């Protein structure tokens, strides 16, 4: 008997094309699928327990990924200190697992490239797994973490005070293991600028408006925390 296909509406994926079938997720292939499948298999081989498993291709030509039970946010929100700490430590564990991977092709790690809360599975209000790896590619920790910090803290949200955001940013980066946040803020503004260009390319004015607003807020409120271009971020090895 053919199993029912249930449309998945959580997260910020291509809604309408991703479905749940039993204990699996089915989604269309893309230009990065071959790399992603090899990467998910690598994570499985090293027993990384906070990502889905690649299970093959179905008769409709869609990739089959294991379904992870839990809740996936549909939008950004305000996360507690404990949630931020748990998320940062999970991201650090993910990055550590990818360091030295042959697929990284001499880069520092393999980046997820969209570490938004909307790409995490929560159980009992805590993030326990990372999903939606379709943008994964070799890169650097700071590039991946800067984007994660932007979205987990919802940087640019005028309803959250600058002082609170500065405190939360320190909390998040320290939980990850960075002793300086200067470079992270610099890279965050670059990620925001990249998303502005992406929004223009994809003709998504809402994306452009949101990223521009976040960029302006970051420069206005965090500018004094950014030191010279020669500043370096220290990441502890522990």
Beta-carbon contacts of residue 164 (< 8 Å; ≥ 6 apart): none
Whether residues 88 and 62 share a domain: the answer is: no
Closest CA to 182 of 238, 224, 139, 213: 224
* pLDDT exceeds 70 at position 55: yes
Q: How far apart, in whole angstroms, are the C-alpha atoms of residue 205 and residue 103?
A: 35
List CB contacts of 140: < 8 A, sequence separation 6 or more. Answer: 107, 108, 109, 111
Which has the higher per-residue pLDDT, 113 or 12?
113
Indicate if the pLDDT at residue 236 is higher than 60. no
Look up the domain containing 52 and give its range: 5-66
Residue 227: predicted pLDDT: 46
Phi, psi for residue 205 in degrees, rounded to 5? -60, -30
Of all residues in the chain, the percent with pLDDT exceeding 70 is: 89
Give the C-alpha separation, 114 to 11, whole Å.
11
Q: In the chain, what are the helix, strand and coil shares in percent, each to the nearest 5?
A: 45, 15, 40
- Does a structural domain hold residue 230? no
pLDDT digits (tens, 9 = 90+) for 194-215: 999 999 999 999 999 999 999 9
Residues 128 and 187 in one domain: yes
pLDDT band of 151, cuts 50, 70, 90:
very high
Q: Are residues 14 and 57 in the same domain?
A: yes
Q: Is 121 helix (H, G, I), strand (E, B) or coil?
A: strand
pTM for the full predicted model:
0.90
Mean pLDDT of 229-237: 44
The stretch 81-94 carries a mean pLDDT of 98
Please count the structural domains in the chain: 2
The mean-pLDDT minimum among 20-29, 35-44, 55-64, 219-228 falls in 219-228
Residue 229 has pLDDT above 50, yes or no: no
Each residue's pLDDT tens digit, 183-196: 999 999 999 999 99
Query: What pLDDT, on a 0 to 100 scale, did the predictor assign at position 10?
Result: 54
Cα–Cα distance, 203 to 222 (Å, whole number): 29
Q: DSSP string spanning 15-77?
A: TTS-EEETTEEEE---TTHHHHHHHHHHHHHTT--SS--EEEE-TTS-EEEE---SB--SS--
Q: Is pLDDT of 231 > 90?
A: no
SS3 (DSSP) at 227: coil
Interhelix angle 141-153/81-98, nearest 10 degrees: 160
pLDDT above 60: residue 112 = yes
Per-residue model confidence (pLDDT) at position 99: 95
- Say if residue 100 is in the same domain as residue 177: yes
Round the average pLDDT of the chain to a whole number and report it.
90
Q: Are 41 and 118 in contact (CB under 8 A)?
A: no
- CATH code where residue 164 lies: 1.10.510.10
Average pLDDT over residues 71-96: 96
Task: Flag the least confident range among 29-33, 89-93, 100-104, 231-235.
Answer: 231-235
221 in the same domain as 112: yes
Q: Is the pLDDT of residue 16 over 80?
A: no
88 lies in the same domain as 193? yes
């Amino acid at each position: 008997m053919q199993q029912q296909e249930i449309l998945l509406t959580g997260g910020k994926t291509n809604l309408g094309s991703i479905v749940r079938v039993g204990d699996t997720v089915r989604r269309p292939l893309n230009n990065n699928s071959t790399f992603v499948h090899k990467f998910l298999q690598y994570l499985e081989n090293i027993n990384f327990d906070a990502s889905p498993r690649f299970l093959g291709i179905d008769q409709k030509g869609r990739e089959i990924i294991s379904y992870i039970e839990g809740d996936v946010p549909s939008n950004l929100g305000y996360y507690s200190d404990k949630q931020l700490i748990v998320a940062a430590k999970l991201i650090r564990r993910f990055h550590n697992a990818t360091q030295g991977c042959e697929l990284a092709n001499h880069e520092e790690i393999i980046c997820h490239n969209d570490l938004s809360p909307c790409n995490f599975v929560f159980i009992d209000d805590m993030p326990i797994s990372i999903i939606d790896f379709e943008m994964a590619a070799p890169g650097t920790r700071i590039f991946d973490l800067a984007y994660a910090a932007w979205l987990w803290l919802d940087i640019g949200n005028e309803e959250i005070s600058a002082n609170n955001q500065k405190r939360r940013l320190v909390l998040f980066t320290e939980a990850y293991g960075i002793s300086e946040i200067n470079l992270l803020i610099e890279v965050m503004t670059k990620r925001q600028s990249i998303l502005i260009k992406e929004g223009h390319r994809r003709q998504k004015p809402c994306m452009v408006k949101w990223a521009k607003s976040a960029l302006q807020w970051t420069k206005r409120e965090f500018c004094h925390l950014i030191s010279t271009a020669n500043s370096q971020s220290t990441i502890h090895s522990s």
